[in-house]
A and B are shown apart, each in its own frame.
Chain A
Amino acid sequence: MSRLSIAGVSVRYGAVTVIDGVDLTVPEGTMHALLGPSGSGKTTLLRAVAGFVRPAAGRIRIGERDVTELDPARRGIGVVFQSYALFPHLDVVGNVGFGLEMQGVGRDERNRRVRDVLALVGLTGFEDRAVDRLSGGQQQRVALARALVIEPELLLLDEPMSALDRKIRADVQQELKRIHERTGVTAVIVTHDQEEALFLADTITILDEGRVRQVGAPREVYDHPGDPFIASFLGRTNVLDVEVEVGPGAPSARVAGGSLELPRSARPGRWRLSVRPERIAVRGRGAAGTLAAVIRHIDFAGPLATLTCELEDGTPVTVSMWGWQSPEYRPGMDIGLEIAPDSMTLYPEGDDAAHG
């Protein structure tokens, strides 16, 4: 059963089409990420689901109800805003209890539910605090508590982490995942942070220029990006133009510095080959099945290190490895690059990796 379903939704601002015929379903109890670069329409799509913008076409259903024309107040949604939008004239309890008050829930029950949800987000003891006396992380929890306490059918989160610094963000992501598992609420999160989407979501929609580029589970979209744009947007990737030859053995491609064995499914012709930096292994120069390359730079960044290499014809190839492994290597070293057939994705030549 799907909690949210979006069918053929388009949103226009004047002559500009911001969302162009988007279809999307989110199953009950899952977290779905809308991921895309800025200007991709992800926030607008969320705002259409919330009822803050009216679609020019298409239908939006929450559970069994068609909410396309419904007032935001009646949709049964909880929203966490990018700015949190906490009411500055109310304290923590006033903010969190606001939705219950609007529903006409009595004072005693309201207090009990506010207390419970504050315990859930770890803010017990902050009841009477003015919201501008809270840290960013605490404000974010108040915003989450305020949206959850009304027990929404659908929780909408609009870039909820973007105002937090990196270290706090990691903690809050863990926390959000835990709270989502505890409450079982169906959630849609808008983010431009691909790691956040991969970490939090059960399914991801990748949007670009108002259209859906790909939908899938995190592993699926990461390991099998639908096109080079998605591959380069969701993490980094190397793209090589290759000429595929299918002989008596496995398909293969001639690349500067050697020959690559390709997946069995490869067809002859000119293709673009995408491979993620962490799927390339560094071997000695001349090892069987490797491409000859030279190391140009080594960038050490703690847990990971990035090697920028060059094939014989000057094509750059990025390789990542554990940081502790990197001292073995030096710029200028001759090496061999090993790329396993199952780590490659092939795209028709017309696809444009730089798009978007």
Chain B
Amino acid sequence: MSAVTSQGRVLVRRTTIVLTLGLLFLPLAVIVLLSFNASRYGTLPFEFTLRWYTELFGRGDLFVATRRSILLSTGTALASALIGTSVSVWLVRHRPRALPVVSAGLLSAVTIPWLILGIGMLTVFQTLGIGRSTSAVFLGSLVTSLPYQVFIVLARLRALDPSLEEAARSLGASALRAQARVVVPLISSAVLGGALMAFTITFNNFVIQYFLMPFGVRTLPLEIYTLVRTGYKPDINALSTLVLLATVVLIVALQRLVGGVQRTVRPVAGPRPDRGRD
């Protein structure tokens, strides 16, 4: 009897997973498929073509928008890596008591809807005289991606045995050299993972860009939005497929970097050292 119910439970669980993933991936699959379909209106039968891709590559405006998005995302990722890592190191080293407060603050920055954040920032930037501008978008992107960067790096830093640095110091390394030879290598994958995360978030952040970009200057999400509003054409499918491909590459890289925590950071000694110094 209980075997039957547990089997039933497994079935329910599996169906749920399959349905959820299906709901996520089916539209994506349709887009990829249609990007290679000759029909302009997405009708069957399927007939293979690369026409939409060639048409896409002929459109200068999309390229400009894509380049703008990549620039913005890369800039945000770099700034986020630099600032996020410094903040994390500072928090762990000098202000452990401020940690819970800052964590709560960062967490709320993650949970507050970007829509509200966007409107709020627009108001503030306008009073400050920055208004809608590239720097406004950059700041907005940084604010939305920094918490993720800090969380990822902070988690890695806190998992590091503080004795590692002391060990390097006792072996003759200066404070700076101990950082460079021991701490940096051990947190580098987390820093990079956070930066990739910042890149992805910024690249996809339609809401912030919608509110803060100067009128007429469009990033890729804004460009796509405009295109869809004026009339849906299959070259959008081709574009979406390319963005999807880039995202998949990023996700794989992210998983390698951040998912590798266990392998690189697990304390070497079996039991955890007793943190209470006596």
Contact residues of A with B, CB < 8 Å?
18, 36, 38-44, 47, 50-52, 71-75, 77-79, 81-89, 98-99, 102-103, 131-132, 136, 139, 146-147, 150, 156, 162-163
| B111 close to chain A: CB less than 8 A | no
A164 vs chain B, min Cβ distance (A): 9
User: Which of A18, A44, A85, A162 meets B167, CB within 8 Å?
Assistant: A85
14 A-B residue pairs with CB within 8 Å: A44-B277, A50-B170, A51-B170, A52-B169, A71-B169, A73-B171, A73-B173, A81-B166, A85-B164, A87-B182, A98-B173, A136-B270, A150-B171, A163-B269
**B166 A163 Cβ-Cβ under 8 A:** no
A71 to B170, CA, bound (A): 9
Whether A132 and B266, one on each chain, are in contact in the complex, defined by CB atoms closer than 8 angstroms, is yes
Residue in B closest to A50 when the chains form the complex, CB atoms: B170
Contacts of A89 in B (CB 8 A): 185-186, 264
Residue B272 interfacial (CB < 8 Å)? yes
Interfacial chain A residues near B78, Cβ < 8 Å: none
How far does the Cβ of B170 sit from chain A's closest Cβ, in whole Å?
Answer: 4
Give Cα A248 to B258, complex, Å.
Answer: 84
| Inter-chain contacts of A88 with B (CB < 8 A) | 186, 264-268
Instruction: Tell me whether A85 and B169 are in contact (CB under 8 A).
Output: no
CA distance A162 to B273 in the complex (A): 9
- Does B271 sit within 8 A of A, measured CB to CB? yes
Shortest Cβ distance from residue A42 to the other chain B in the assembled complex, whole angstroms: 7
For residue B163, which residue of chain A has the nearest CB? A85
B169 to A38, Cβ gap below 8 A? no
Q: State whether B172 touches A99 (Cβ < 8 A).
A: yes
Point out the residues of chain A lying under 8 angstroms from B271, CB to CB: 163
Say whether A102 contacts B172, CB under 8 Å: yes
B277 touching A47, Cβ below 8 Å: yes
Listed residue (A83, A99, A156) with the most chain B CB atoms within 10 angstroms of its CB? A83
Contact (A81, B273) CB under 8 Å given A98-B168, A102-B171: yes
Interface size of B in residues (CB-CB distance below 8 Å): 31
Contact partner of A38 among B164, B173, B270, B278, CB < 8 A?
B278
Q: How far is the CB of A1 from chain B (nearest CB, A)?
A: 23
**In B248-278, which residues have CB < 8 Å from any A CB?**
264-274, 276-278
Q: Assuming A103-B172, A136-B269, A163-B271, is B163 touching A40 (CB within 8 A)? A: no
B24 CB, min distance to chain A CBs, angstroms = 36
Chain B positions 16-34 with a Cβ under 8 Å from a chain A Cβ: none
Name the residue of chain B whose CB is nearest to the CB of A81: B163
B278 / chain A contacts, CB cutoff of 8 Å: 18, 36, 38-44
**A102 and B173 within 8 A (CB):** yes
CA distance in complex: A73, B276 (Å): 24
Residue with the highest number of chain A CB atoms closer than 10 Å, among B168, B170, B272: B170
A81 surroundings in chain B (CB, below 8 A):
163, 166-167, 273
Instruction: Give B278 Cβ to nearest chain A Cβ, in Å.
Output: 5
A83 with B185: CB separation less than 8 A:
no
A85 to B182, CA, bound (A): 11
Report yes or no: B277 in contact with A83, Cβ–Cβ below 8 A.
Answer: no
Residues of B within 8 A of A52 (CB): 166, 169
B244 smallest CB distance to A (angstroms): 34
Residue of B with least CB distance to A131: B268
Query: CA separation between A339 and B183, bound complex, in Å?
Result: 60
Q: Residue B223 at the A interface, CB < 8 A?
A: no
Instruction: Tell yes or no: B9 within 8 A of A by CB.
Output: no
CA of A98 to CA of B169 in the docked complex: distance in angstroms? 11
Chain A positions within 8 Å of B174 at CB level: 71, 73
Extra contacts besides A88-B268, A98-B173 (11): CB < 8 Å: A18-B278, A44-B277, A83-B161, A83-B273, A85-B163, A85-B268, A88-B264, A132-B266, A146-B167, A147-B171, A156-B170
B13 in the interface (beta carbon within 8 A): no
A91 to B261, CA, bound (A): 18
Write the chain A residue with the least CB distance to B274: A82
Question: In whole angstroms, how far apart are the Cα atoms of A146 and B274 in the complex?
Answer: 22
Minimum CB–CB distance for A333 against chain B, Å? 43
Bound together, the chains give a CA A40 to CA B278 distance in angstroms of 6
Residue of B nearest to A87 (CB): B182
B177 within 8 A of partner (CB): yes
Distance in Å: Cβ of B104 to nearest Cβ of chain A: 25
A295 to chain B, nearest CB (A): 39
Q: Which residues of B contact A132 (CB under 8 A)?
A: 266, 268
